[in-house]
Structure 1
């Protein structure tokens, strides 16, 4: 069984635990989070959380996707989630994350993203990583910038959310040590 655990000064990124389903649902059943994510349902239920977590361990074992809980290193309090979806053929990976609204503005997203970028570059030997956000959610772009990513472009009216088209802003970063 593959175990992934990343630590930073304040955070531990680890596999979600089944007993966290209620806490996940409480954080995700938030219109502001739904509004700024592409595929998260709303309202968000405990069953949604269980279904979402169902294949996390298998995905890690098969090196398909790394979906980790963003937690307090000391207390274990769940703050949110971060994901790396690697494409080994092209040596890149997409990053995605959400942080529960009570924990916004504390730098947890940036700290988690930096840790996951380091994991992608050092452990998975990816050449580049990228992430995207709705233009209507500039705070997510600031997280990416603070984590060292740079703006690469905007896909105009690229997705539809609640009957309106949204621009997707892409950020990326090339591994400074990867040569192959």
Structure 2
């Protein structure tokens, strides 16, 4: 992982994580206006419009500069193609952060989420100095669980029937990793 503080980008083997801009809104709306993505995310609305994307993107730079929330577009390092998004929140009072991500359905199964999650995890520990990073996923989305297991997170617990979505209740599974459990400092 290579982080550029001035450009606010993270580079990995295949990916460039960068801030979103307004010109990304049509592509974000196209990727997010997908029921299969909606049903696996905690806060994504459905249907999803360009206006939803513009409202979402509007405060990314301010949140980043205020050290509150770091939202990155997951893009192909060579072509610039947008695959999805990954974010790291900053819970300053606890010195930890939460990873959240989505990948457009046509790009599922290519390892983009895992590669981006590993990079954002390193960003959280090395650049932001967090003691802990955590992630949550619905029990009905085991693929998301595999992503966070691959980056070394350990299961911490299940909040049973914690979220009501589409008239049913979903378990929310928590995973986390501590700074000393990583190899970023060895």
State the TM bucket, normalised to the shorter chain: over 0.9
How many residues align structurally?
179
Residue 86 of structure 1: how far off its partner (Å): 1.1
The counterpart of 1:104, out of the listed 108, 115, 120, is 108
Structure 1: which 4+ aligned runs deviate by more than 2 Å?
none
Residue 3 of structure 1: how far off its partner (Å): 3.8
CA contact (8 A) 1:2 1:61 kept: no
In the superposition, the TM-score normalised over structure 1's length comes to: 0.96
Match of 2:95? 91
Match of 2:62? 58
In the superposition, the TM-score normalised over structure 2's length comes to: 0.93
5+ long unaligned stretches in structure 1: none
Match of 1:41? 45
Match of 1:5? 9
Residue 39 of structure 1: how far off its partner (Å): 1.2
CA contact (8 A) 1:2 1:60 kept: no
Distance in 2 between the 1:3 and 1:162 partners?
40
Distance in 2 between the 1:90 and 1:3 partners?
27
5+ long unaligned stretches in structure 2: none
Distance in 2 between the 1:151 and 1:2 partners?
35
Match of 1:18? 22
Q: CA-atom RMSD, angstroms?
A: 1.6
